[in-house]
Each structure stands twice: as structure tokens, then as C-alpha cells.
């Protein structure tokens, strides 16, 4: 029995030693007791002292002392320490529980919580109880721990916080010191969350990136961690020697192994063991050093060498075995890095052997075949590691410390196709053809496996001959270049030309399963050599190729490969093809259709996700009088990016149903504006009638030069980046006039994201790039140009208004206006509880992909139905606020401050005829430094802009440019500002600035 330090200290502080020593006498106001050690009594006995600092009985004759009430009970009542603690606590009515009682009660409570849950079912299936998976978690008090189960019933909410009412299984990770493992959500410096994994009760509802049901989910952006059972933490804390450490996939397997004396840690997937993450290697290094570990074994399940399930004709049959082999190789390389840190261990890999009961993992074996005889497994592991061939009764384990990568791959027969085919012959039924080592094979009429390319198996690109020299037969190896080139072309290797490479240069590509990749010559030589290794058993030939292949297939030889043309898709009007890992999406004005990939596609043009059609927008209707109406589907209501577009279109902070009719029309128009502008950016075909850049601005007014920002403008750029090849340019660092501004643009670039343009940026610098071919000037490479119809589009964000009010500039811009819904005080992270893109699950990604497809569809539909002006698919936003920002930018803060004071409604300057020279003089008197920037001519232009901003009129007593007087102009219901003709007298120009009321009353 033991008690926590916290409880012991609580008892000590409350106790008075005098209540626990029998026979105390008072002598001259001091307490004495007979010394049990030397027998001294009376005033010569033990002096008993109790105050705020001391609780002590001490004999000054023999030096014997008793410190505190607990020690007194041990001395005079002959009790053990735990018994004395309990007795003193009971004396003062202090409730305490022993560690054993706490553990027992905690386990009982946790077991009650798990009763009849999915978590309990999972633990039972692995032969585990709550007691087995309890973790000692560090508390805020030094050297204090509390017991909590590492496996619990529950799920995670949208913010990544546990919800213990749901019936999934949560797996809590704790480090070697008992602290909860934390991870920083990507993009949020310093914001830490606890690392918790989920085991789903119904994997079919949770589809992984590979399109298959996912049993487990790790926190997004959290990286890979080791799972440490409490047995391992105890060994680490006590520096207990561990001879052999097993690393295996899965937390339950690690717990089950530790339960039966097999020291083990878990990891999430065999492919993660070699990930380049400093945290992993540090954890392993600390554990190896503290426990003096000699051997580390990567232990696979019994299906370690099986082929993938549900193989289809044309599949790579060696894909799964290759993944396991590469995992073992990465594991070896990974553990060897410990040598650089002063730690030496032997590296092994092994696997559970197949049993009659088809037990897969170590936990299955221990609850099945070895139930009741679990100790046999630990002894079998130890004995197998001593054998010369690594073959045991329940496991096979092989030492790989000194093996090469090729030797490790031989465990899976990956370097010998004949051996591999024989090993897995029972899986080839029904496969008309398949790939092994990236080469296609088929079974011929005789039942033999032959290459299914146009080249027969007898046409190898090497040849062996024997010649007699000096009376001796000599072996010669030859390389047949023409055969090798034909072999490469039959397997999808070609040369190609590209403007980016220059007129006299060419590159190399491979086409594999409709995917085009730009490759280096070393990849071609690797392909040739890998094939030779799999098909040639002559070591002399392999040595010859290994030594000579660099010159045998150098660039000058590879240029004989056939040139591949027609590599780039021809873009069609009102049709957009988008390519995903599992197929192709075809978008037209009235449909989004998903099907198989129908052509060869460059790899960078394939969105690295799987697509599933889920409608997000039920419809968009348009009426010239009532405006637009956007209706989402039920799934669309859950689409976070659509919600983001809606929020950034809401300028009134009310729910849409409470917004007045005009505001509601503007609200929906803002949404359609964003949808069609995104669609414009994602559409490959470029319409000659719409040579524009998309410019995103804040609608909120601010002083010129002062940045609003944080409203979400860049989020659209990031969205486009997740759909197409995009080049990012930092507008704060790179000027539009920089000769290398487009240096990172390639032929595959579909969009240029110019983010955070500076105040008064020269937009005209982009004119030629928007309306004509794009000139690219890469650093240290030849210049090239991309024709307009294949050049990327532009998305520009600015926290300021652009100086772009000329007709030529406005014709090249489609604006997007952002409300101030989001700011530094209310970010999407705060609202949604996680980062966009980085923290999305597969369902949210699918909604996003469907929304992007529908944005393109509605852009095409706008073109077809004429939602905007002819030949234009981007719908303009309500322009009032954007126009005001542009006017304020044009006016300038100094002029605006002066004009608001000079034409104050309570003053004498408004509604009066004033000499323009006197006005200009008054401006310079208030702002003398402005003469450098505001000339007399510019003064009048700024004054006109000020009147436009404030709704004032200039010279309403004169006819305007259309020879109409103010009365007629106003009676016709004209909106805006009336600009009368020049008012001159005696060579001086006069200006009359009036408000509308004065102009009406004056009956001009």
C-alpha cells in the first residue's frame, strides 16, 4: 500500500506530534517524553516541539529524534509507514485513498464508462482490459501522476476536442515522461492541441485519401508519433534494461505485447517508420539510451508479403510487397541514424507467421493460438533471433543491419520476376495482364509469363557472345541501342520539346497509366537497369550495365527516342476538364459529370484527391428586376468554403432573411460575383471578349495608405492553388516592373496569384500580360513566351484601392468585394475551429472540389445566359463601396482632410462662387508640402473626385457636357454628380461647389 506525496504532505501539515506520543510530561512549560532509544527521562528525555516550523521530538543525550506525527506513530505504535499515514489521517478526519485504492476505483469507474461500448469491444478483441491500458500521466505537481486510460469511448468535435458521448474509440498519446503529446496545427504558431487518434466504429463512413474506408484517423497536420505503453514509460523512468524492442503497427498490438513481457511500441502504419521527423528519432534515441536497448525489430503482420486485394487487369502486382520492402529499408536507414548520435543497435525485421486460424497481428495470435500459453511467443522471438536462418515457430525474424537494399528486397522476391510469379501464381487467375517492376506482362498460350509490349521476351537489349583470344574463350557483353530505344518507347518513354526548354533543347517524359511526367535521364537508365536485374541472371551482364550504362544511354543516345507531340490539351469554349486520381470531371454550362480519364494528362494537372459528385449549390436564378438568388443543397450548407463566400458577401451582419430587399439583392449578387470570378480563374479556355484580371479589394473604407486586410481575400488564391498549377508572387516584395516577376511561371501554370499589392501599384504594368502573350524571364535560363490563349490568368489582392479608373484599366479588371466579416478579431480559424485546407477531412475536401466545379459551371452559364454584359461571364459586384474606395485613393488623405473642412456645410465656401486660384492657395496654406504632388490641374481633378465621393455638384448654374442644365438633368432622374461647364471671367476660372438642395432651390 502506498499514498501519494500530495496526500502525505496534507496529513503532515495537519498533524500535531504531541497527539501521537504517549507519556508526555510538562516541565517548566516544555513538553518531554522518555527516550525509547537511551531511556533518558524527565527533563533529560526527548524534548517535544510543535510549532509552525517544527514537529519534532529530540533527545539531546543520545541524539535520537522523531520527525513528525507519522514517524511518531511508527515509533510508538510499531506501525509501517502506510499504516501510520492512514492512522494519522483518520485521527484528523482527512479522507485519503491509497494508490492501490485509487487505481482500483479508477479502473472500476472507467470500466463502467466503457461498458457495452465500441472501445470495450475493441479492447476485448485484443485481450486487453482497462487495467492493461492505464497511463500514469504527469500532473502539475512534481513527481505526481494520475491514472487515466489511454483508450476511451468518444470522438472529436470540429475543433479537435474530445466528446465522450460518441461511441468511437479515442487513443490518447503520452510521451516517455507521461506528458500528453501535443501538436501545432499548421499555420497557427504556438497553438497546441493534444494528440488523439480515432478508431472509427464504421470505417465505410470515413473515406481516406486513397478512396478506401479508413479505420483510423490521426489529427490533420500532426505528423507521426510513437505510441508508448505504460510498461515502456516505467522502464524508461527506471532505466530498466531492454534487450529487444519491437516496433509494430498499431497501439493495441503494442499494449498486448507489453502485457505479456514483449517490450513493444506502436506506430501508425508501416510506411511511417522512416519518415524524416526529428521528434521520432529523438524519442527512440532517448529510449535506446536510457534502457540500453541492443536490438530493434520492425515486426509486420502475417500478411507481410501478400499482394493487394481486388487486383484488376493492368494493376501493379508488386505495389504492396514493394511498400513493405521499402518500409523495412527505410526502417534500417532510420535506425542507423542513431549511430550518428552515439548509439549502436542491431536492426531486424520480422513478421508473424500464418496460422491455421488466419491470425494477422501479434494481438490476434496471443488471444487465439497462444491463449493461455502467451509466454511461448516471447521465448520464440528470443530463440528465432539466435538462429542462422531467422525462421521460428510463430515468427520469422531476420537481421538486416549489414544487408543492402537489394538483399532486403529479396525477402519479397522483388529482384527476380520468375521467383515472384511462382510465389504468387495463385493470385493471377483472371488477370489478362499486369505490371511487375513497371513492365507489363501477360500469360501466353503455354502458360508462361511474357512481356505484353510489342517486344518479345527474346528481344533483350543485351547480348552475350564468346570469342577465342590467345587460345582462350572470352566472354563479351554488348548493348543493343536500337532495341533498348524501342523497348523504352514501348514502355512510354519519349523526348519532347517545350518553349521553356528553348528551341534547340528537348526534355524527356514518361507516360504511365495516362499520367505524363517530365523526367530526368537517370530515371530512364534506372528503368533499364531494374528491368535487366529482374530478367537477367548473368552477373557479368549486370556488372557491365552497372558500369557502362551512363555512357551507353547518355543524352546523345537518348535523343534518338521518338519525339512525342500533342501533349497539351486543346481547350474548348464552355467545356472544362478537371482531372483527379480516380477519374475526370467534365464541366459544361449545365452539368458536372464524372467519369474515367480519357486522355494522357500531365501529372501536375491532376488534383491529388479522389472525386465524388456531391451537389453543393442547388441552383442560381436571375431576374433583371429581382436580381440573383443562390440556393445551397443540404450538403452545401455544410460546405465550409461556401459558408466563407457567404460570410464575406454579408455586409450587413444580419441573417439573410432579415436583410432588406435591396440589401438582400446585393448580398446574393456578391455571392454570385465570387462564384463566377472563381469559375473564371479555373476555366482553361480564355474568351477574347474577357481579357481580365480578377482584383479582390476590401469594401471597408480606410485612410489612404492604411491597410485593412485579414478579410479573407487571399483565401480565394489558396483555393485556386489547391485546384490548378499556380505561381505565387508576394506583392509587398516584388514590383510589377521587376524583370523577373514571372520567373517561376511555366507552361503548366494556370494562374498567377499576385498577393497584397502595394499602395498606388501601377496596374498598367500588367496590361500586356493580361491581354497578350506572357513573357517569362527565368533567372539563369533562356527567356520564352506563352501565347495568350494558353497563358495563366491573374488573381490580384490588395488592401488598398487600385489607381485604375481609366476605361482601359477598368476593361481589364473584374472586381471582387469583401466585407469585414473576417478580421484579426474573427478569423476563419476562430469561426470554424480549424484551418481551411490543412485540417479538412475527406468529406469537406469533396464538398470543396464540387463547389469549385460548380463555380466553373456557373461561370459558363453566366456567359450562355447573359448574366453579365455580352461576352463576359464574371458578374460584377455592387460597386458603390469599391467606387468610394477608389475615389478616396485618388483624392488622397491630405486633400480629403482639407476639402471636408473647406466645404463644411456650416461654412461659407460651399454653395458660393470662388476663384479656383484662391481655392488652390488655401489648400497649400494648410498643406504646404503638397505642392510637390498636387499641381493646379491635378487640384481640379481631385476636386471633381471629392464631389463624386460626397455627392456635391460643380457649377450647376452652367450646362454640362451634354448641353443640359441642372434642372432638366435632375428632373430626368439622373443619379450621381452634375459637372457644369467651365465658368471664366476676366481670365480667371471660378468654381461653384453646391449640395443638391441648394442647386434645386436655386432653380439652375
- Residue ranges in 610-690 assigned as alpha helix (H): 640-647, 661-682
Q: Which one is predicted more confidently, 855 or 761?
A: 855
Q: Could you tell me if 783 and 776 are in contact, meaning their C-beta atoms sit under 8 angstroms apart?
A: yes
- Evaluate whether residue 989 is within a structural domain: yes
Residues 693 and 824 in one domain: yes
For 204-218, what is the HEC assignment?
A: HHCECCCCCECCEEC
Residues 422 and 281 in one domain: yes
- At 471, is the pLDDT very low, low, confident or very high (cuts 50, 70, 90)? confident
Residues 474 and 617 in one domain: no
Query: Would the pLDDT of 524 be above 60?
Result: yes
Residues 711 and 617 in one domain: yes
Q: Could you tell me if 226 and 288 are in contact, meaning their C-beta atoms sit under 8 angstroms apart?
A: no
What's the pLDDT tens digit per position in 347-374?
999 999 999 999 999 999 999 999 999 9
- Evaluate whether residue 565 is within a structural domain: no
pLDDT at 659: 45
**Rounded to an integer, what distance in angstroms lies between the CA atom of residue 707 and that of residue 729?**
19
- At 706, is the pLDDT very low, low, confident or very high (cuts 50, 70, 90)? very low
Residues 911 and 869 in one domain: no
Residues 804 and 873 in one domain: yes
Q: Which of 192, 222, 252 is the last residue of a domain?
A: 222
Least confident of 128-132, 448-452, 794-798, 925-929: 448-452
Q: What angle do CA 868, 871, 874 make, to 5 degrees?
A: 45
**Rounded to an integer, what distance in angstroms lies between the CA atom of residue 619 and that of residue 20?**
84
- Evaluate whether residue 551 is within a structural domain: yes
pLDDT at 103: 74
- Residue ranges in 624-782 assigned as alpha helix (H): 640-647, 661-682, 713-721, 767-771
Q: Residue 708: left (phi > 0), alpha (psi -120 to 50), or beta?
A: alpha
Q: Could you tell me if 924 and 939 are in contact, meaning their C-beta atoms sit under 8 angstroms apart?
A: no
Average pLDDT value for residue range 257-280: 78
- Evaluate whether residue 452 is within a structural domain: no
Q: Which one is predicted more confidently, 763 or 967?
A: 967
Residue 346: CA count within 13 A, CB half-sphere: 11
Least confident of 82-96, 288-302, 464-478: 464-478
- At 504, is the pLDDT very low, low, confident or very high (cuts 50, 70, 90)? low
Q: Could you tell me if 123 and 252 are in contact, meaning their C-beta atoms sit under 8 angstroms apart?
A: yes
Residues 49 and 129 in one domain: no
- At 272, is the pLDDT very low, low, confident or very high (cuts 50, 70, 90)? low
Residues 213 and 181 in one domain: yes
Q: Which one is predicted more confidently, 780 or 427?
A: 427
Least confident of 135-149, 379-393, 853-867: 135-149
- At 516, is the pLDDT very low, low, confident or very high (cuts 50, 70, 90)? very high
Average pLDDT value for residue range 109-126: 83
Residues 377 and 407 in one domain: yes
pLDDT at 887: 74
**Rounded to an integer, what distance in angstroms lies between the CA atom of residue 978 and that of residue 958?**
10
Q: CA dist 836 to 348, 617, 640, 828, 833, Å?
A: 41, 20, 8, 8, 9
- Evaluate whether residue 137 is within a structural domain: yes
Average pLDDT value for residue range 652-663: 54
pLDDT at 811: 81
**Rounded to an integer, what distance in angstroms lies between the CA atom of residue 220 and that of residue 850?**
21
Least confident of 23-32, 180-189, 412-421, 486-495: 180-189
- Evaluate whether residue 141 is within a structural domain: yes
Average pLDDT value for residue range 644-656: 76
Average pLDDT value for residue range 838-867: 94
**Rounded to an integer, what distance in angstroms lies between the CA atom of residue 796 and that of residue 713?**
9
Domain with residue 356: its CATH number is 3.40.1360.10
Grid cell digits, residue 271:
510506411
Q: Comparing C-alpha atoms, which of 828, 950, 884, 946 is closest to residue 699?
A: 884
pLDDT > 90 in the chain, percent: 54
The residues with which 795 forms a beta bridge, in sequence order, are: 694, 753
- Evaluate whether residue 719 is within a structural domain: yes
Residues 598 and 615 in one domain: yes
pLDDT at 708: 54
- At 705, is the pLDDT very low, low, confident or very high (cuts 50, 70, 90)? very low
Q: Could you tell me if 428 and 436 are in contact, meaning their C-beta atoms sit under 8 angstroms apart?
A: no
Task: Using the Cα atoms of residue 699, residue 700, residue 703 and residue 708 in order, give the sign of their dihedral.
Answer: negative
Domain with residue 844: its CATH number is 3.40.50.300
pLDDT at 189: 47
Query: Would the pLDDT of 278 be above 60?
Result: no
Least confident of 52-56, 62-66, 185-189, 541-545: 185-189
- Evaluate whether residue 332 is within a structural domain: yes
**Rounded to an integer, what distance in angstroms lies between the CA atom of residue 263 and that of residue 371?**
18
Q: CA dist 108 to 114, 115, 263, 473, 543, Å?
A: 10, 10, 27, 83, 67
**Rounded to an integer, what distance in angstroms lies between the CA atom of residue 227 and that of residue 175?**
8
Residues 875 and 834 in one domain: yes
- At 11, is the pLDDT very low, low, confident or very high (cuts 50, 70, 90)? very high
Q: Comparing C-alpha atoms, which of 769, 872, 744, 854 is closest to residue 815?
A: 872
Least confident of 184-188, 650-654, 789-793, 872-876: 184-188
pLDDT at 752: 95
Q: Could you tell me if 260 and 379 are in contact, meaning their C-beta atoms sit under 8 angstroms apart?
A: no
Average pLDDT value for residue range 638-649: 95
Query: Would the pLDDT of 589 be above 70?
Result: yes
Express the helix, strand and coil content of the chain in percent, nearest 5 each: 35, 20, 40
CB burial of residue 544 (10 Å; 0-12, 13-18, 19+): buried
What's the pLDDT tens digit per position in 621-630?
999 888 899 9
* Phi, psi of 399, deg, nearest 5: -80, 125
Average pLDDT value for residue range 237-241: 95
Least confident of 274-288, 379-393, 406-420, 792-806: 274-288
What's the pLDDT tens digit per position in 291-349?
999 999 999 999 999 999 888 888 899 999 999 999 999 999 888 877 766 778 999 99
Domain with residue 62: its CATH number is 3.90.580.10
**Rounded to an integer, what distance in angstroms lies between the CA atom of residue 845 and that of residue 828?**
16
- At 105, is the pLDDT very low, low, confident or very high (cuts 50, 70, 90)? confident
Beta strand pairing call for 988-994 and 433-436: unpaired
Enclosing domain of residue 133: 97-222
Residues 167 and 29 in one domain: no
Q: Residue 417: left (phi > 0), alpha (psi -120 to 50), or beta?
A: alpha
Mean pLDDT of all residues belonging to the chain = 87
pLDDT at 862: 96
- The domain total for the chain is 6
For 395-406, what is the HEC assignment?
A: EEEEECCCCCHH
3-class DSSP state of 615: coil
pLDDT at 333: 86
- Residue ranges in 424-511 assigned as alpha helix (H): 481-490
**Rounded to an integer, what distance in angstroms lies between the CA atom of residue 98 and that of residue 952?**
84
**Rounded to an integer, what distance in angstroms lies between the CA atom of residue 835 and that of residue 854?**
23
Q: At what angle do helices 251-259 and 230-238 cross, to 10 degrees?
A: 60
Total-model pTM: 0.65
pLDDT > 70 in the chain, percent: 92
Q: Comparing C-alpha atoms, which of 816, 926, 925, 918 is closest to residue 874?
A: 816
**Rounded to an integer, what distance in angstroms lies between the CA atom of residue 594 and that of residue 587?**
9
Task: Using the Cα atoms of residue 902, residue 905, residue 910 and residue 912 in order, give the sign of their dihedral.
Answer: negative
Q: Which one is predicted more confidently, 844 or 278?
A: 844
Least confident of 57-61, 208-212, 233-237, 586-590: 208-212
Q: Could you tell me if 600 and 514 are in contact, meaning their C-beta atoms sit under 8 angstroms apart?
A: yes
Q: Comparing C-alpha atoms, which of 357, 349, 373 is closest to residue 260?
A: 373
pLDDT at 702: 46
**Rounded to an integer, what distance in angstroms lies between the CA atom of residue 652 and that of residue 663?**
8
Query: Would the pLDDT of 858 be above 50?
Result: yes
Least confident of 50-64, 98-112, 379-393, 813-827: 98-112
pLDDT at 81: 94
Spacing of C-alpha 323 from chain mean position: 23
Q: Residue 865: left (phi > 0), alpha (psi -120 to 50), or beta?
A: alpha
Task: Using the Cα atoms of residue 593, residue 597, residue 600 and residue 606 in order, give the sign of their dihedral.
Answer: positive
Amino acid at each position: 500500500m502506498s499514498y501519494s506525496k500530495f496526500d502525505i504532505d496534507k496529513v503532515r501539515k495537519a498533524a500535531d506530534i504531541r497527539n501521537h506520543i504517549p507519556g508526555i510530561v510538562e516541565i517548566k512549560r516544555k513538553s518531554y517524553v522518555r527516550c525509547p532509544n537511551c531511556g533518558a527521562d524527565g527533563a533529560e528525555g526527548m524534548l517535544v516541539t510543535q510549532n509552525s516550523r517544527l514537529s519534532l521530538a529530540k533527545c539531546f543525550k543520545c541524539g535520537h529524534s522523531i520527525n513528525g506525527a507519522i514517524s511518531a506513530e511508527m515509533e510508538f505504535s510499531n506501525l509501517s509507514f502506510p499504516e501510520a499515514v492512514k492512522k494519522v489521517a483518520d485521527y484528523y478526519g482527512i479522507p485519503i485513498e491509497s494508490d492501490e485504492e485509487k487505481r482500483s476505483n479508477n479502473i472500476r469507474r472507467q470500466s463502467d464508462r466503457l461498458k457495452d461500448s465500441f472501445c470495450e469491444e475493441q479492447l476485448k478483441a485484443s485481450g486487453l482490459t482497462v487495467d492493461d491500458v492505464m497511463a500514469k500521466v504527469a500532473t502539475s505537481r512534481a513527481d505526481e501522476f494520475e491514472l487515466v486510460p489511454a483508450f476511451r469511448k468518444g470522438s472529436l468535435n470540429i475543433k479537435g476536442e474530445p466528446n465522450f458521448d460518441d461511441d468511437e474509440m479515442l487513443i490518447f498519446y503520452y510521451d516517455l515522461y507521461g506528458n500528453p503529446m501535443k501538436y501545432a496545427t499548421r499555420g497557427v504558431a504556438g497553438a497546441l492541441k493534444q494528440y488523439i487518434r480515432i478508431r472509427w466504429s464504421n470505417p465505410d463512413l470515413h473515406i481516406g485519401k486513397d478512396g478506401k474506408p479508413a479505420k483510423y484517423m490521426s489529427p490533420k497536420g500532426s505528423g507521426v508519433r510513437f505510441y508508448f505503453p505504460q510498461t515502456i514509460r516505467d522502464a524508461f523512468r527506471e532505466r530498466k534494461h531492454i534487450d529487444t524492442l519491437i516496433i509494430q503497427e498499431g497501439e493495441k498490438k503494442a499494449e498486448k505485447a507489453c502485457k505479456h513481457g514483449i517490450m513493444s511500441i506502436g506506430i501508425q502504419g508501416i510506411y511511417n517508420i522512416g519518415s524524416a521527423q526529428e521528434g521520432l528519432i529523438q524519442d527512440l534515441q532517448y529510449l535506446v539510451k536510457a534502457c540500453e536497448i541492443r536490438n530493434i525489430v520492425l515486426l509486420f503482420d502475417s500478411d507481410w508479403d501478400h499482394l493487394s486485394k481486388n487486383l484488376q487487369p493492368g494493376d501493379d502486382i508488386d505495389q504492396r510487397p514493394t511498400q513493405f520492402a521499402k518500409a523495412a529499408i527505410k526502417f534500417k536507414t532510420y535506425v542507423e541514424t542513431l549511430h550518428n548520435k552515439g548509439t549502436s543497435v542491431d536492426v531486424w525485421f520480422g513478421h508473424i507467421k500464418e496460422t491455421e486460424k488466419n491470425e494477422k497481428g501479434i494481438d490476434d495470435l496471443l488471444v487465439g493460438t497462444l491463449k493461455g500459453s502467451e509466454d511461448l511467443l516471447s521465448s520464440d522471438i528470443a530463440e528465432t533471433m539466435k538462429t542462422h536462418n531467422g525462421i521460428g515457430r510463430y515468427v520469422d525474424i531476420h537481421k538486416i543491419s549489414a544487408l543492402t537494399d537489394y538483399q532486403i528486397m529479396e525477402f519479397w522476391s522483388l529482384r527476380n520476376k520468375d521467383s515472384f510469379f511462382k510465389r504468387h501464381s495463385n493470385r493471377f487467375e483472371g488477370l489478362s495482364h499486369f505490371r511487375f517492376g513497371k513492365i507489363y506482362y501477360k500469360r501466353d498460350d503455354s502458360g508462361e509469363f511474357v512481356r505484353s509490349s510489342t517486344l518479345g521476351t527474346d528481344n533483350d537489349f543485351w547480348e552475350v557472345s564468346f570469342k577465342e583470344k590467345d587460345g582462350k574463350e572470352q566472354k563479351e557483353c554488348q548493348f543493343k541501342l536500337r532495341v533498348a530505344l524501342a523497348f523504352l518507347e514501348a514502355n512510354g518513354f519519349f523526348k519532347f520539346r517545350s518553349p521553356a526548354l528553348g528551341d534547340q533543347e528537348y526534355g524527356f517524359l514518361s507516360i504511365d497509366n495516362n499520367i505524363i511526367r517530365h523526367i530526368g535521364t537517370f530515371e530512364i537508365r534506372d528503368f533499364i537497369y531494374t528491368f535487366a536485374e529482374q530478367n537477367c541472371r548473368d552477373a557479368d551482364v549486370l556488372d557491365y550495365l552497372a558500369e557502362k550504362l551512363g555512357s551507353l544511354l547518355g543524352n546523345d543516345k537518348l535523343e534518338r527516342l521518338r519525339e512525342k507531340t500533342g501533349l497539351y490539351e486543346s481547350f474548348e469554349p464552355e467545356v472544362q476538364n478537371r482531372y483527379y486520381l480516380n477519374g475526370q470531371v467534365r464541366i459544361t454550362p449545365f452539368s458536372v459529370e464524372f467519369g474515367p480519364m480519357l486522355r494522357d494528362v500531365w501529372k501536375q494537372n491532376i488534383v491529388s484527391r479522389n472525386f465524388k459528385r456531391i451537389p453543393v449549390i442547388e441552383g442560381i436564378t436571375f431576374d433583371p428586376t429581382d436580381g440573383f438568388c443562390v440556393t445551397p443543397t443540404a450538403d452545401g450548407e455544410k460546405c465550409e468554403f461556401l459558408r466563407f463566400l457567404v460570410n464575406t458577401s454579408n455586409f450587413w451582419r444580419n441573417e439573410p432573411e432579415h436583410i432588406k430587399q435591396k440589401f438582400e439583392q446585393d448580398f446574393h449578387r456578391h455571392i454570385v460575383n465570387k462564384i463566377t470570378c472563381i469559375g473564371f480563374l479555373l476555366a482553361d479556355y480564355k474568351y477574347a471578349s474577357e481579357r481580365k484580371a480578377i482584383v479582390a479589394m476590401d469594401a471597408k473604407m480606410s485612410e489612404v495608405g492604411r491597410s485593412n486586410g485579414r478579410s479573407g481575400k487571399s483565401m480565394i488564391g489558396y483555393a485556386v492553388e489547391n485546384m490548378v498549377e499556380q505561381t505565387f508572387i508576394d506583392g509587398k516584395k516584388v514590383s510589377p516592373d521587376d524583370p523577373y516577376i514571372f520567373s517561376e511561371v511555366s507552361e503548366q501554370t494556370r494562374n498567377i496569384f499576385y498577393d497584397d499589392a502595394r499602395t498606388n501599384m501601377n496596374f498598367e504594368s500588367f496590361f500586356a500580360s493580361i491581354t497578350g502573350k506572357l513573357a517569362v524571364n527565368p533567372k539563369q535560363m533562356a527567356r520564352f513566351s506563352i501565347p495568350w490563349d494558353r497563358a495563366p490568368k491573374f488573381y490580384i489582392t490588395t488592401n488598398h484601392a487600385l489607381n485604375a479608373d481609366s476605361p482601359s484599366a477598368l476593361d481589364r479588371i473584374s472586381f471582387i468585394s469583401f466585407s469585414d466579416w473576417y478580421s484579426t478579431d474573427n478569423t476563419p480559424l476562430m469561426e470554424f475551429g480549424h484551418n481551411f485546407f490543412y485540417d479538412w477531412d475527406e468529406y469537406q475536401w469533396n464538398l470543396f472540389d464540387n463547389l469549385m466545379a460548380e463555380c466553373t459551371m456557373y461561370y459558363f452559364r453566366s456567359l450562355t445566359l447573359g448574366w453579365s454584359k455580352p461576352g463576359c461571364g464574371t458578374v460584377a459586384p455592387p460597386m458603390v463601396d469599391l467606387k468610394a474606395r477608389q475615389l478616396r485613393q485618388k483624392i488622397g488623405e491630405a486633400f480629403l482632410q482639407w476639402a471636408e473642412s473647406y466645404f463644411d456645410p456650416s461654412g461659407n465656401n460651399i454653395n458660393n462662387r470662388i476663384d479656383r486660384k484662391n481655392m488652390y492657395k488655401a489648400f497649400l496654406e494648410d498643406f504646404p508640402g503638397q505642392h510637390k504632388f498636387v499641381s493646379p490641374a491635378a487640384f481640379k481633378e481631385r476636386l471633381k473626385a471629392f464631389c463624386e465621393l460626397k455627392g456635391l455638384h460643380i457649377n450647376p448654374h452652367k450646362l454640362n457636357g451634354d448641353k443640359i442644365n441642372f434642372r432638366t438633368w435632375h428632373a430626368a432622374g439622373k443619379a450621381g454628380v452634375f459637372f457644369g461647364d467651365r465658368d471664366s471671367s476676366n481670365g480667371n476660372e471660378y468654381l461653384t461647389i453646391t449640395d443638391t438642395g441648394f442647386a434645386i432651390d436655386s432653380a439652375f
